[in-house]
């Protein structure tokens, strides 16, 4: 049996489990976590007791009540879940080699020494389960996947839930995953599944048997070859990717759906996105705004600008696009809003401008002001000083 190199941990019903850990009255009972405290909202997570009734991520609150009359709802507390994520990460890093925190509920570890054998890896999983139960909470459980690379370890981690442990390697592939649909595999979107179908690849065994060079043609990228080689068990390291942009999107709770309040939430999202842009030492040359209304329409526009990290400039672009939206579409109740900073590059690579005048990589006056505000907020807390009026809207449905 070839050596195992990666252990992938997927926390089971993480958000609901955290709530059950903190409130013993919730243990053993069906619990759902909601994005907004309203019947019009949806469940963003569910405990396994709720899943047994058919409640899952995306189920509307009213449907969850119908499926499971005794279900208990709790509003999402994303910052709390992040704290538990860090507590779990601390335990893992003290007992093994934590290499990646993949998401708020997924972790990747490197295997070494005796843990590269199947028996050693299974023993490590048992020790990690026990350590998390003692040091973080006995309601916090995870499913583990063991594999020769990160792709197979992640797939293995989804095979047995909850509280499971599975492995994938040359001895059990592709039979152990032959029952999965193509789009059950990480990285296979609906569009890629359709592309594979057009290439007459209809199932996982066929994909496993595919010539990696053929996969490159189907994907129209070297990523197809990498994917199939990893599926076949090769150890191919993760490749750092170029960041395509910075953005935030928000599903609005009912009290924020008036267009005037949604506009102020948008200003808050712009401030958050531009602060992250500066922390990463980047500039952006394109701003995009997307607004979804309750009527079902989505309005989306973008505008180019000189590459910058000045919050005030992006707030002006945000206002200009809202004015354009108001003149052309007049949205009713707004269900969600998103902002995105694109065409990003490093500040150090920005060319100068003789007309401004601005030397290469030199900060503009507005960028210096933005950085000063970052320093004040870092010392006194987010939002201590703002670029005019905005409306914070914290919660789980925030991406970027």
Catalytic residues: 106
Q: What's the gap between Cα 92 and its chain centre? A: 21
Residue 128, both tokens: 């990690």
CA–CA distance, 391 with 306 (Å, rounded to integer): 27
Alpha helices in the chain (DSSP H): 14-22, 48-51, 61-67, 78-95, 118-135, 150-157, 190-198, 204-208, 212-219, 222-231, 259-279, 311-328, 365-380
User: Comparing C-alpha atoms, which of 29, 27, 57, 53 is closest to residue 42?
Assistant: 57
Instruction: Indicate the DSSP class of residue 266.
Output: H
Angle at CA 292, nearest 5°, toward 291 and 293? 120
Q: Is 235 exposed, middle or buried (0-12, 13-18, 19+ CB in 10 A)?
A: middle
Do 325 and 291 form a contact (C-beta atoms < 8 A)? yes
Query: In the block, which residue shows the tokens 């797939």?
Result: 155
CA–CA distance, 324 with 302 (Å, rounded to integer): 11
In sequence order, what DSSP letters do the residues of 162-215 get, joined into one string?
A: TT-EEE--TTTTTGGGTTS-GGGSTT--HHHHHHHHHTT--SHHHHHTS-HHHH
């Amino acid at each position: 049996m070839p050596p195992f190199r990666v252990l992938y941990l997927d926390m089971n019903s993480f958000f609901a489990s955290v709530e059950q850990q903190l409130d013993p009255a919730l243990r053993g009972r069906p619990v759902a976590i909601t994005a907004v405290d309203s019947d019009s909202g949806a469940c963003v997570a569910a405990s396994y007791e709720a899943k047994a009734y058919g409640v899952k991520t995306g189920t509307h609150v009213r449907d969850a009540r119908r499926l499971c009359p005794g279900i208990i709802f709790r509003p999402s507390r994303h910052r709390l879940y992040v704290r538990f994520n860090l507590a779990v990460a601390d335990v893992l890093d003290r007992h093994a080699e934590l290499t990646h925190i993949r998401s708020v509920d997924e972790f990747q570890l490197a295997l070494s020494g005796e843990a590269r054998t199947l028996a050693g890896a299974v023993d490590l999983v048992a020790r990690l389960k026990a350590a998390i139960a003692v040091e973080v909470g006995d309601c916090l459980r995870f499913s583990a996947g063991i594999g020769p690379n990160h792709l197979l370890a992640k797939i293995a981690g989804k095979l047995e839930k909850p509280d499971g442990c599975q492995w994938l390697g040359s001895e059990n592939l592709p039979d152990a995953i032959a029952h999965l649909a193509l789009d059950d595999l990480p990285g296979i979107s609906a569009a890629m599944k359709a592309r594979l179908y057009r290439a007459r690849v209809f199932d996982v065994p066929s994909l496993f048997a595919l010539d990696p060079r053929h996969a490159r043609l189907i994907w129209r990228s070297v990523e197809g070859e990498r994917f199939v080689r990893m599926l076949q068990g090769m150890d191919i390291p993760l490749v750092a990717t170029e960041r395509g942009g910075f953005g935030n999107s928000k599903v609005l709770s009912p009290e924020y759906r008036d267009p005037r309040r949604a506009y102020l939430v948008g200003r808050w999202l712009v401030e958050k996105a531009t602060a992250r842009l500066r922390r990463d030492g980047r500039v952006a040359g394109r701003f995009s705004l997307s607004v979804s209304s309750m009527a079902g329409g989505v309005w989306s526009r973008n505008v180019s600008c000189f590459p910058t990290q000045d919050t005030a400039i992006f707030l002006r672009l945000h206002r200009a696009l809202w004015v354009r939206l108001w003149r052309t579409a007049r949205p009713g109740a707004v269900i969600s809003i998103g902002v995105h900073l694109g065409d990003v590059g490093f500040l150090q690579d920005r060319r100068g401008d003789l007309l401004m005048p601005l030397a290469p990589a030199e900060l503009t006056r507005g960028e210096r002001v933005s950085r000063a505000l970052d320093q004040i907020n870092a010392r006194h807390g987010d939002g201590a000083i703002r670029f005019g009026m905005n409306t914070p809207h914290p919660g789980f449905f925030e991406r970027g």
